[in-house]
Chains A and B, each alone.
Chain A
Amino acid sequence: EFVLTQSPATLSLSPGERATLTCRASQSVNSYFAWYQQKPGQAPRLLIYDASKRATGIPARFSGSGSGTDFTLTISSLEPEDFAVYYCQQRSHWLTYTFGQGTKLEIK
């Protein structure tokens, strides 16, 4: 079974600080890796695709990196609207899709 493990489960930071969220795959994966942001009562929003490319309209403070089994989402300087839950997502070799369990980014 293909599993994505996100850490930490909860991250408490203040506006202006740098946030680093990680996602580890249970086996080496291709570059079809994405990150999403979800705010309460809303659908997820695509932030990053192909591990490092920003989706349309996503601010430059969001960046993605990684390959193999380890991927990172970095928010360079947190804005108040960035506090939300973040999910990683990967397409497997069997053309199925898996999400991580989520990281809650909360205001400290």
Chain B
Amino acid sequence: QVQLQESGPGLVKPSETLSLTCTVSGGSISNYYWTWIRQPPGKGLEWIGYIYYTGSTNYNPSLKSRVTISVDKSKNQFSLNLNSVTAADTAVYYCARLVGASWAFDLWGQGTMVTVSS
């Protein structure tokens, strides 16, 4: 079955760029939307943005100026870059699949904790 796995540094310094990759295994990245969602410790979920396999994107307006999501179909991966990070960006970051028919997130990675600290 299709599985998602996040990877990337667990510690990022303030003002630097947070970079994460999600690898899709057991299925193709084509014909779906792929998204990033984060959850600060002890808090709720925040949608960051999505990318369609063709490369079109849509971002949370509150993060839009700092976010870039890209896709690499040859590697069956998509990535998140969040620049100018602060402690407020400390969170568990999840990648997830967004189903176009229902606009719900039906598959999730296990999540990766990213801490912003010097």
Q: Name A residues whose Cβ lies closer than 8 Å to a Cβ of B.
A: 32, 34, 36, 42-46, 49-50, 53, 55-56, 87, 89, 91, 95-102
Is the interface on chain B under 10, 10 to 19, 20 to 34, or 35 or more residues?
20 to 34
Asked whether, in the complex, the Cβ of A55 is within 8 Å of the Cβ of B106, the reply is yes
Q: Give complex CA distance A36, B109 in Å.
A: 14
Asked whether, in the complex, the Cβ of A46 is within 8 Å of the Cβ of B104, the reply is yes
* Chain A residues positioned under 8 Å from B103 (CB to CB): 32, 34, 49, 91, 97
Q: List 22 A-B contacts (CB under 8 A).
A: A32-B102, A32-B103, A34-B104, A34-B105, A36-B45, A43-B109, A43-B110, A49-B106, A55-B106, A87-B45, A89-B105, A95-B58, A96-B58, A96-B61, A97-B60, A97-B103, A98-B47, A99-B44, A99-B46, A100-B44, A101-B44, A102-B45
* Chain B residues positioned under 8 Å from A42 (CB to CB): 110
Q: Name B residues whose Cβ lies closer than 8 Å to a Cβ of A.
A: 35, 44-47, 50, 58, 60-61, 94, 96, 99, 102-106, 108-111
Q: Give complex CA distance A87, B96 in Å.
A: 15
> Which single residue of chain A is at the shortest CB-CB distance from B50?
A97
Q: Give complex CA distance A10, B109 in Å.
A: 26
* Chain B residues positioned under 8 Å from A32 (CB to CB): 102-104
Known: A87-B44, A87-B45. A96 touches B60 (CB 8 A): yes
Q: Of A44, A45, A96, which contacts B45 at CB under 8 A?
A: A44
Asked whether, in the complex, the Cβ of B108 is within 8 Å of the Cβ of A43, the reply is yes
Q: Give complex CA distance A98, B61 in Å.
A: 11
* Chain A residues positioned under 8 Å from B47 (CB to CB): 96-99
